[in-house]
Each structure stands twice: as C-alpha cells, then as structure tokens.
Structure 1
Amino acid sequence: MNSMKHGLSIGIERIDSEFFLSLKAIGTLTHADYEVITPLIDSALASVKEPKVNVLIDGTELEGWELRAAWDDFKLGLKHNNEFNKIAIYGNKSWQKTLAKVGAWFISGEIKFFEELTDAANWLKS
C-alpha cells in the first residue's frame, strides 16, 4: 500500500485589520482538504470589518488538485476576492507561474509568482 502525503497547512497573523495568511500546499489537494481549511479562513476573516489580506502560498511541494478541490479553490478565491491585497505564490513549477497569471483575472488584489521565498516575502511587505 502506497500512501501519499497531501494537504494544506495554514498560518494566520493579524495586525489590526491587516491579515497575513501563509499556506503550504503538499501533494495533490482534495475536497476533504478544503473542507478543513475553508472554515478556518472564513472564520478568521469574518471577525474583521473590511479585512486586507496578504497571502504567501508555498507551492514547492504542490502536485496539483483533484477536480472538485480545484473548484473549491476557485470558490474560496471568489468568496474572499475583495479581501485579498497581495498574493505571492512561491513555487518551482512552470504551471504555477501560469496559474498566478490566470488567478489575477479573478482576484481584485495583486498576484505574483516567485521562485525565491525571500523575494516573495519582501514583495508582500512592500
């Protein structure tokens, strides 16, 4: 039996009405992964009027999504669309760079792809 590690880990830091959200995606994400992470994000953002969210996504171990999980990701982005200020995607695969460009069509904030973690973090802080 071959078990594959997958999932999302999340970190949320709040300074007044500004949120810093860090996500680490591992393996192939499933609908079950989003059933866990979505309420955490919803709850954190619901407690603040007009939150501004900067997000760091570490996709260096991300392999992709199951179809339903991709839909969950899209819905989560649309639901919190106006709350995202900047989204930095730190990755190491060419499709992730393309994904950042496509995501920019659906998110009101800025999205950029980075191959270096320090560059991503510095951009979020600027």
Structure 2
Amino acid sequence: MGSTRHGMSIGLERQGSECYLVLKAIGTLTHDDYLILTPMLEGALEGIRQPHIKALVDVTELKGWELHAAWDDWQLGLKHGREFDKIALLGNKVWQRLAAKVGDWFVSGQVQYFEDEAQALAWLAE
C-alpha cells in the first residue's frame, strides 16, 4: 500500500542578477504541511529588510488543500502578502487561474497566472 505524495518545497533561484523565491506545491496540502512550511518561509523572510520579494509559485502538481490547510494558507497570505512585489503562479488548471485573480486582491504587489515557465520568469524580471 503506497502513500500519496504531498507537500511544498521552498528555494531560492537566480537568473542573471534577479533572485526569486521559488515554491512548488504537490498533491493535496494538509495542516501538517503548513506546520512545517510556515516556520521555513518565515525564517527565509526574517533576514530580509523591507522585503520586496519576487516569487515563482509552481502549482502544476497541486491538487488542492484540506480545509484546515486552506485556512493556514489564507492566514499566511494575510500575514506576508504585503512583502511580495510580484508572484508568478505557474499552473495548468482553470481553478488555478481563478486563484491567481483572487490572490491578487490580497497581495500588495501583482499576481499573474502563467502556463509557461519562461514567460513567468520574463514577467518577474521586468
């Protein structure tokens, strides 16, 4: 009997002189995933003075959230949404495009949906 893969990875990537926060979500996220993710993300943001973060969020393998995890995600967005200048959401589903539009209401910067990673990175570099 196998288990279903789920979770989120966090990293930093450079393209030329630009540095991006890269998040990749897979499977159905749980509250336990956010118990691990939140301190990691907050630790990464802690060392940045007056953050103006550009992020690439890959949700191409995301299936969704458990209810408690959706609440965790909402709280994380409210707490840190003003620290992001641009968020490129890389997806492949209609509901992800809608999530980018809704997310744009709650982030002080811009949120844009992409189905092509090269286009997402080009937009972040603008």
TM-score computed with the length of structure 1 as normaliser: 0.92
Q: In structure 2, what is the equivalent of residue 117 of structure 1?
A: 117
CA distance in 1, matches of 2:47, 2:10: 17
- Residues 1:54 and 2:54 are matched in the alignment: yes
Q: Secondary structure at the match of 2:8?
A: strand
Equivalent AA in structure 1 for residue 78 of structure 2: L
1:2 Cα deviation after fit = 3.9
Gaps of 5+ in 1: none
CA distance in 2, matches of 1:36, 1:12: 18
CA distance in 2, matches of 1:77, 1:19: 21
CA distance in 2, matches of 1:54, 1:41: 14
CA distance in 1, matches of 2:119, 2:19: 19
Q: In structure 2, what is the equivalent of residue 5 of structure 1?
A: 5
Q: In structure 2, what is the equivalent of residue 38 of structure 1?
A: 38
CA RMSD, aligned part only? 1.5
1:48 Cα deviation after fit = 2.1
Q: In structure 1, what is the equivalent of residue 23 of structure 2?
A: 23
| Pairs within 5 Å for 1:92-111 | 92-111=92-111
Identity %: 56
CA distance in 2, matches of 1:54, 1:77: 14
8 Å Cα contact 1:19-1:52 kept in structure 2: no
Equivalent AA in structure 1 for residue 57 of structure 2: I
Q: Secondary structure at the match of 1:89?
A: strand
Runs of 4 or more off by more than 2 Å in structure 1? none
